[in-house]
Structure 1
Amino acid sequence: MLSKMWRQRFNINELRNCSSDFPFTRELFEDLSKLGIAVIGCMCFVTLVICLIFLEELCFLIRHDPDWRNVRRKLWLLGLYPVFGFCCIVAVIVPRSSQLNDLISAVYLSICLVQFMRLMILYFGGEVKMLVTLSSVDIPLQSPPIACCLCCLPRKSMTRSRLNWIKGLVWQVALLRPVFTFTSAVLWSNGQYNPHLLTIDSPYTYIVSINGISTLLAMYGLIMVFRMAKLHLTRVNITHKFACLQLMLVFSNLQPVIISFIGSSGLIKCQGSISTEAKTEMLSHLLLLAEVFLLSIYARWHYRRKHEWTDSDTDESLR
């Protein structure tokens, strides 16, 4: 009785008849309703607005920020939104390219984690001045997302070797993510990389696990430095800038997993040549694109500052 009710509720027989292939662009627009086409058209306009916002920020920073190192790192971080926006809209219009676009945006996000770390060091005036400023501050080892519950961890003061250790936690993601992205792209082209197949013999299971651990370690190192530095960098809105990066990380990693779970439960139906997996990916990218648009406005408000002080006498390593 319960099995019959479950089938009626989620229409499982219908789902089994759906193709698991992603449609071509022509097939997609043939099966989409007028409302669906209108939504995609609106999101194309939103993507254009995100790119225009970035160009305006580029012109503003070049005119008002004399420190090119500061400008370069800010542009890396502000470029996160047009890159994600462009990848999302391309993944919607060309469903068969969704995995490639996800891999590209993931690599860019991992680079932005490193750039934010370098930006914080630059705000202090370099590593030497950062170490002097933070020498009396204990390293918050009990930080999320890894060690927030480990109260037994000892207190350690900041030294150059420990700073290098923390930097290594952050920079390893920029090294490992491109390697695994290339591996994923090769497996995907050979039909062996399937994000909707979580099994013990699926390469996707191991790649996504390693990438997840790498990202958590990078965030752990970044959060430790941020918690030590935030009281000294209030003048540059460091809390809001870090919030932009954190929200982008949550939206791009956690949200697709939730939507994929909803799709696999049968709540998202196939439509003509648009399979359940393809429709799930479309909804995930459209929602992420809307969130990227809001975050781009939020980031613009906190990065677009005329008088953001940085010490001119910085370490040579930051040049």
Structure 2
Amino acid sequence: MADGDANNCSFDFEDPTTSQLLQAINGNYASTTTLVAATILSIITFIVFIEGEIFVCRKIASRRKVQLSFIMGIYPVFSATSLISLYVPRASLVARFTAQVYLSVSLLQFVMLITGYFKTRDNMQRLLKGSILPLGSPPLLIFASCCLPKIPITEENLLKIVRTIKAAVLQVAVLKPILWFVATVLWTNGSYKPGKIGLHEPFIFFQVASLLSTLMALNGIIILFRLCKEPLKKFKITPKFFTVQLALVLTTTQSILIAIFISAGVITCRGPFGARMRGSYIDNLLTVVEMFFFNIMATIWYRRTEGNVDPEEQLQRRYYAQLSSTYKVDPAIQIALGDETDVMTSLTSETSSRTLDSNSNEGIVKPLVIHSADSNGKVNNNGSHYVVKIQDNQPESNDSTDI
């Protein structure tokens, strides 16, 4: 590269290669530090995601595990694709296309996660019956909130409403990948220039169509959230919705805002990077930083059993954990008998009640047989067993229970 290229905006609508980029920023302390910092943040984001993914795979049930994994993967995917765009500017559109496809699929997984918290259709109808569905929800229909009716939820219209919400989210999973694919094809032909706004430029039309599709999907998710907020309060869906909403809005509107700043002259040329190249770098750098913080927020609320595991299942897990800590010698006895303390307490109370019973027959020995179990936890009726002999009101002073 010639020395004069470093003092002009040679990198504007023609993206440089990686070698040209590194040569241009060589000796520029600020640019090098920024690139290294973005790399470190992206690596940390990926490591935190891997740790959370290991936890989810070990602690959460199978179907919910897949849904949580897709949603948690939004942040490292966007961080990685933005970092690739920083190092390989010519691959920025392909990287953005990959991230948007993944986001579209993850939004559908988020809706399936929320509806899956109800477990069954009957349970959903029972919990949502009598609720009021506000059609005037942000962001698309907030201005018509005073005119649109509020629909009461009944057993007849509940499934239709849920299908409509899923269709609103599904359209973004289909439409946005098609839009980005067509934009990538036009970009390879030189007809699509990212960041260039004009009446005859396809960039603004693709961005507006993508924004409208995203807002429609976001409107459906918000309606579903407002409908399920109270019935699913124990699953902590408010912070989960907040993290997905932020990622969806910022990744869609940020590029349009930066393109407007470029056209308005707020982002200007600073050699060797032109205004469009600087705007693309600012967009990708902000995405890496945002995904780092969003990933921390998502890890707090998705990487946990509370809010992701049903309360009944949590109690069952705690019960078996308590049994496991009680019995250290023979797991078969643990499965067959349960908690030793509870067994002995029941035996003691039964002995006391029989002692105080004046109508009981004295001197009668009543055996209590507790069968053992094999290693698989099945009760063995033919094997050895424990006999507890309870003798009522013996005249001797050495009353005892012989096991």
TM-score scaled by length of structure 1: 0.87
TM-superposition CA deviations, 1:183-223 (whole Å, max 9, x none): 11111111112232333333333322222221111111111
The one of 51, 55, 64 aligned to 2:59: 64
Q: Is the 8 A contact 1:259 1:280 kept in 2?
A: yes
- Distance in 1 separating the partners of 2:43 and 2:81: 12
Higher helix content, 1 or 2: 1
Give the structure 2 partner of residue 106 of structure 1: 100
Is 1:123 the equivalent of 2:117?
yes
CA shift, 1:282, in A, is 0.6
- Distance in 2 separating the partners of 1:72 and 1:272: 46
Give the structure 1 partner of residue 81 of structure 2: 87
154-163 or 213-222, larger mean C-alpha shift: 154-163
Matches within 5 A, 1:219-258: 219-258=218-257
- Distance in 1 separating the partners of 2:44 and 2:113: 26
Give the structure 2 partner of residue 156 of structure 1: 151
Q: Is the 8 A contact 1:144 1:223 kept in 2?
A: yes
Give the structure 1 partner of residue 186 of structure 2: 187
Q: Which amino acid aligns with 1:29?
A: L
Which runs of no fewer than 5 residues in structure 1 stay unpaired?
1-13, 313-319
Q: Is the 8 A contact 1:81 1:292 kept in 2?
A: yes
The one of 35, 41, 45 aligned to 1:46: 41
Give the structure 1 partner of residue 291 of structure 2: 292
Give the structure 2 partner of residue 309 of structure 1: 309
TM-superposition CA deviations, 1:60-81 (whole Å, max 9, x none): 111211x111110000000001
TM-score scaled by length of structure 2: 0.70
Residue aligned with 1:142, SS: coil
The one of 5, 19, 24 aligned to 1:31: 24
Give the structure 1 partner of residue 211 of structure 2: 212
Matched length: 299
The one of 9, 14, 27 aligned to 1:21: 14
Q: Which amino acid aligns with 1:70?
A: R
Report sequence identity in percent: 30
Question: Residues 210 and 127 from structure 1, CA distance in 2 versus in 1: closer, same or farther, beyond 3 angstroms?
Answer: farther
- Distance in 2 separating the partners of 1:30 and 1:270: 18
Is 1:133 the equivalent of 2:127?
yes
- Distance in 2 separating the partners of 1:86 and 1:130: 38
Residue aligned with 1:149, SS: helix
Larger RCO (alpha carbons 8 Å, 6+ apart) = 1
Q: Is the 8 A contact 1:268 1:279 kept in 2?
A: yes
Q: Is the 8 A contact 2:259 2:279 kept in 1?
A: yes
- Distance in 2 separating the partners of 1:51 and 1:16: 34
- Distance in 2 separating the partners of 1:127 and 1:94: 48
CA shift, 1:250, in A, is 2.2
CA shift, 1:311, in A, is 8.8
Q: CA RMSD in A?
A: 2.2
Q: Which amino acid aligns with 2:17?
A: F
Question: Residues 262 and 134 from structure 1, CA distance in 2 versus in 1: closer, same or farther, beyond 3 angstroms?
Answer: same
Residue aligned with 1:284, SS: helix
Residue aligned with 2:117, SS: helix
Give 1 or 2 for the bigger CA radius of gyration. Answer: 2
Which runs of no fewer than 5 residues in structure 2 stay unpaired?
1-6, 313-403
TM-superposition CA deviations, 1:279-311 (whole Å, max 9, x none): 111111111111110110111011111243349
